[in-house]
Amino acid sequence: MLRAWQDVIVKWQLVPGDGPVEAPAADRHAERGRSALVAGRLDDALAEFQAAADLRHDPLDRVGVADVHLARGGWRIAEENYRAALTEGGLAALLGQLGLAQVKVGKGQAAGAVADLELLVADRPDDPVLRFYLASAWYSAAEQCRSRTSEDMLVITSEQQLRICEDAARRILTLRTGDDELERGAEHLLTEVNMGRRWTWSPEGIAVSLAVLTVALGLITVVAGGLLDNVVLVFVGIVAGAALLYAIVHRFRRQTWRRRADEMAHHIIKYGV
């Protein structure tokens, strides 16, 4: 699925505004189709774009038809029309590339869309529309990489997922899209990553108790060895205490994301990367 409705329609900001009042019939159909698409009237939009396509050969009409199918989840037909626009070059080709990236997102291949859009933004780094689509694709990549529970909650369950989420959040914020929803989502995602990297004891009570007991026993052994003037006993106390403390830390000290992943394991119905 696509992240938001804006992912379908924002690309039309790249197309020049309204034409003259006495524009040809095909242009009027295309303009009405664009207005209907932006308003979410998909049936009207499809009818108008098809009417325009019947009267002329303009690849932007194919983009409009593709957008309607994209909004409806018709990935195959959308892709066919975007590819047809792609072969025409010019502005239609750019919109076709953006549309194909959205098809990838819809198919669950947001990482591939990110790679394609990074190339477009590298060529036109100051274009706010391209930056928006790249940021949106990164956000979708962060969503698709994570595991999902039966209640549709997203959970980080691997180090790779943690890295992807961090990369996505930082890239979205550097793109400065001006989209409040995207930027708030990136900030929340970065907070989740930072919280996930924190170390914690699991289970906390047992781990702390064992650590305190180990340190105490080690100190007692060392003190006893000193009082008995027994170097071996001192050495054993130091080595055994250090080894036990290491074992406790290794066994019970975990990053927060691992602890949460274990807690949510029986709720997960789809694992991410």
Going by DSSP bridges, is the β-strand pair 147-149/268-270 parallel, antiparallel, or unpaired?
Answer: antiparallel
Reduced to 3 states (helix: H, G, I; strand: E, B; else coil), residue 19 is coil
Query: Residue ranges per domain, the chain?
Result: 1-107, 200-267
Tokens of 47: 């009818």
In the CATH scheme, what is the homologous superfamily, with its name and number, of domain 1-107?
Tetratricopeptide repeat domain (1.25.40.10)
pLDDT at 19 exceeding the cut of 60 = no
pLDDT score at 255: 85
What's the whole-model pTM score?
0.82
Share of the chain above pLDDT 70, in %: 78
Q: What do you get for the CA distance between the two ends of the chain, in Å?
A: 18
pLDDT tens-digit series, residues 47-82: 999 999 999 999 999 999 999 999 999 999 999 999
pLDDT score at 233: 55
pLDDT score at 148: 96
pLDDT score at 183: 96
pLDDT tens-digit series, residues 79-111: 999 999 999 999 999 999 999 999 999 999 999
Residue with tokens 């050969």: 57
CA distance 137 to 130: 11
